[in-house]
Amino acid sequence: MNPPVDVRNISNTVRHYGATHREGDGLEGVGCLGSGFEGLGVLVPGLKIIALRLPPYWTKNDRLDRLCIVLHIVLERRCLGDEKDGFTPISGRRLAEVVGRDFAGRALHLLSAPNVRVLECDGRYTPSRKCRGFRIRDEILALENSVRWIPPKLASKLSDSERRHSQVEVGDDPSHQVLWQNLRLLTLSSFPTDFLPPQSSDPSIQLKRHARQLAVARITGQRWHFATDRRTGRVFNNFTSLSKLLRPYALLDGKPCAEIDIRNSQPFFLAELYPNQSAEARRFIETVCDGQFYETVNEASGSPFPSNAREKLKKAVYSGILFGKRYTESILWSGFESRFPELSRIITDSKSKGHNLLAIDLQRREARLMIKTVVPRLSSCLPGIPFLTVHDSLAIDVRYADQAAAIITECAAELSGNVPTLRMTPPAPGIALPPRSSETRAEPSLSIPCS
Number of domains in the chain: 2
**Any domain includes 78:** yes
pLDDT tens digit string along 159-173?
788 777 766 778 789
| Residue 18 in this model has a pLDDT that exceeds 50 | no
| 228 part of a folded domain | no
Q: Is residue 317 part of a domain?
A: yes
What mean pLDDT comes out for the span 54-79?
90
Q: Which residue in 109, 117, 114 sits closest to 138, CA to CA? A: 117
Q: Residue ranges of the alpha helices (H) in 165-259? A: 174-183, 203-220
Same structural domain, 16 and 159:
yes
Q: Which domain holds residue 44?
A: 4-165
Looking at the fold, whether 150 and 11 belong to one and the same domain comes out as yes
DSSP 211: H
Assess whether 161 and 301 both reside in one domain: no
pLDDT higher for 28 or 284? 284
Same-domain check for residues 152 and 292: no
Same domain as 139, residue 26: yes
Is 88 within a domain?
yes
Domain boundary among 165, 198, 223: 165
236: in domain: no
**pLDDT tens per residue, range 312-336:** 999 888 887 888 788 888 889 989 9
Assess whether pLDDT exceeds 50 at residue 36.
no
Residue 299 CA to residue 320 CA, distance in Å, equals 16
* Per-residue pLDDT tens digits for 348-375: 998 888 888 998 999 999 999 999 999 9
Report how far residue 153's alpha carbon sits from residue 66's, in angstroms, rounded to the nearest whole number: 11
What is the overall mean pLDDT for the chain? 83
Asked whether residue 442 is domain-assigned, the answer is no
Query: Cβ–Cβ contacts within 10 Å for residue 303, how many?
Result: 12
pTM above 0.85, yes or no: no
Gap between the Cα atoms of 198 and 106, Å rounded:
34
Whether 346 maps to a domain, the answer reads: yes
**Shared domain check, 27 and 139:** yes
For residue 37, pLDDT over 70 is answered with: no
At residue 170, the 3 state secondary structure works out as coil
Query: What angle (nearest 5°) sits at the alpha carbon of residue 110, between those of residues 108 and 115?
Result: 135
Least confident range from 118-122, 139-143, 260-264, 267-271: namely: 139-143
Identify the domain boundary among 165, 190, 224.
165
**365 phi, psi to nearest 5 deg:** -65, -40
User: Given 132, 165, 198, which residue is the final one in a domain?
Assistant: 165
- Among the listed ranges 16-20, 31-35, 401-405, which one has the minimum average pLDDT value? 16-20
Whether pLDDT at 441 is above 50: no
107 belongs to a structural domain: yes
